[in-house]
């Protein structure tokens, strides 16, 4: 089931053992560390789960003590009242972690997502060129989508850091929790942590509009209130960037529309068609030579795109993206076929990520 990592010495204190695991995460460039009763620790490296040997199975007591040592009393009270908790945890000079705690079968389960201290550049991530041009726009809505663990937060961070280096803008982020930490370069940046700095994405968005922002970053568009407020913010002359857990452009547009009641949907289609600037849908695949690489579907708003959104024809967007590759649009299948043709990923991995494997197969044969 798992790969195996032989590394950690047994018989250390819970906190000492935890710090050793975090060091191992950094060394292996693992994206996640899973601690769950009654298993030994498990790392996710390049998308693959790997069991850490030489540590005995974690007990319920181990988990209780570890969680108590890394949370505040307020966080512990919140967790006891509602057995889910998300927060960021900093280990000075070692790592910054996004922590997700939950209860399973009466015990605590913890997942630690590693957040690199340095924000990667757009170039180093191999992001499409629209990431540079879209983030410099004065207004509109930019969406970065993909499944959990596909690197959406990292893409958004790279875009904001590029803006920070090139334009003087007032930026307000609303995150759950705060992941990458920004320092002011050319931009003035405020970062708000959901649950600690603000009660909800929707409430924070409303108040952000009163804080003279140029750019608003919404960690995730989760509900109808947040989506409607984000669209209104884009309509009133702000640049809004957010994420959604959708796998492609067409599904993204439909998901946004479908959260509204039927009597509201036509109005939302009209508003969305006017404010949308770009949708970047991404997924990560294992490279043949090790590591992972991103594949990106890119939609850039033009008159044809806006017309399809307005006329309930999101299913035709892939056709528009195919015939407008000269301006930077790209379907996911096109991106996957290029990765396979370049010998970067295997055909089998590409097929598993495709929304239309038969179409991808035809592209590869062509």
Q: Where are the alpha helices (DSSP H) in 200-316?
A: 201-208, 224-235, 249-258, 262-275, 303-310
Q: What backbone torsions phi and psi does residue 102 show, to the nearest 5 degrees?
A: -150, 170
Name residue, tokens 């108590």.
Answer: 68
The 3 state secondary structure assigned to 149-179 is CCCHHHHHHHHHHHHHHHCCCEEEEEECCCC
Count of helix runs (H) and strand runs (E) in the chain:
15, 14
Domains of the chain: 3-115 (3.30.450.90), 122-365 (3.40.50.300)
Give per-residue pLDDT as tens, 58-113: 999 999 999 999 999 999 999 999 989 999 999 987 889 999 999 999 999 999 99
Contact 364, 347 (CB under 8 A): yes
DSSP 316: G
Counting Cα atoms < 13 Å in the Cβ hemisphere of 285 gives 26
Residues in CB range of 346: below 8 A, 6 or more apart: 288, 340
Which range among 6-15, 27-36, 133-142, 352-361 shows the weakest confidence by mean pLDDT?
6-15
Residue 4: the pLDDT is 54
Indicate whether 2 pLDDT > 60.
Answer: no
Give per-residue pLDDT as tens, 254-304: 999 999 999 999 999 999 999 999 999 999 999 999 999 999 999 999 999
- The predicted model gives 17-46 an average pLDDT of 94
Indicate whether 12 pLDDT > 80.
Answer: no
Indicate whether 54 pLDDT > 90.
Answer: no
Indicate whether 11 pLDDT > 50.
Answer: no
Indicate whether 249 pLDDT > 90.
Answer: yes
Q: Which tokens sit at 265?
A: 């949907």
């Amino acid at each position: 089931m798992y790969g195996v990592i032989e590394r950690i010495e047994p018989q250390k204190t819970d906190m000492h053992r935890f710090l050793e695991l975090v060091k191992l995460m950094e060394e292996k460039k693992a994206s996640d560390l899973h601690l769950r009763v009654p298993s030994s620790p498990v790392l996710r490296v390049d998308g693959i789960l790997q069991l850490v040997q030489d540590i005995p199975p974690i007990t319920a007591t181990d988990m209780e003590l570890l969680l108590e040592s890394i949370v505040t009393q307020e966080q512990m009270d919140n967790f006891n009242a509602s057995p889910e908790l998300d927060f960021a945890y900093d280990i000075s000079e070692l790592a910054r972690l996004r922590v997700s705690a939950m209860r399973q079968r009466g015990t605590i389960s913890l997942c630690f997502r590693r957040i690199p201290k340095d924000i990667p550049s757009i170039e180093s991530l191999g992001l499409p060129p629209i990431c540079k041009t879209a983030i410099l726009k004065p207004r509109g809505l930019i969406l970065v989508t993909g499944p959990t663990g596909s690197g959406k937060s990292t893409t958004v961070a790279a875009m904001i850091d590029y803006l920070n280096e090139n334009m003087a803008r007032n930026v307000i982020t609303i995150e759950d929790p705060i992941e990458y930490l920004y320092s002011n370069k050319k931009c003035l940046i405020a970062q708000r942590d959901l649950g600690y700095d603000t009660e909800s994405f929707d409430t924070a968005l409303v108040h952000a509009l009163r804080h003279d922002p140029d750019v608003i970053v919404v960690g995730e568009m989760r509900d109808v209130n947040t989506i409607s407020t984000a669209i209104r913010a884009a309509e009133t002359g702000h640049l809004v960037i957010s994420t959604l857990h959708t796998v492609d452009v067409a599904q993204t547009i439909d998901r946004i529309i479908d959260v509204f009641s039927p009597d509201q949907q036509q109005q939302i289609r009209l508003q969305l068609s006017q404010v949308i600037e770009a949708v970047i849908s991404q997924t990560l695949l294992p490279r043949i030579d090790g590591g992972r690489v991103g594949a990106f579907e890119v939609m850039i708003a033009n008159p044809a795109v806006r017309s399809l959104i307005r006329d309930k024809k999101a299913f035709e967007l892939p056709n528009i993206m195919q015939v407008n590759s000269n301006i930077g649009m790209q379907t996911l299948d096109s991106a996957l076929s290029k990765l396979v043709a370049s010998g970067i990923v295997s055909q089998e991995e590409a097929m598993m990520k495709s929304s239309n494997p038969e179409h991808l197969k035809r592209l590869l044969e062509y």
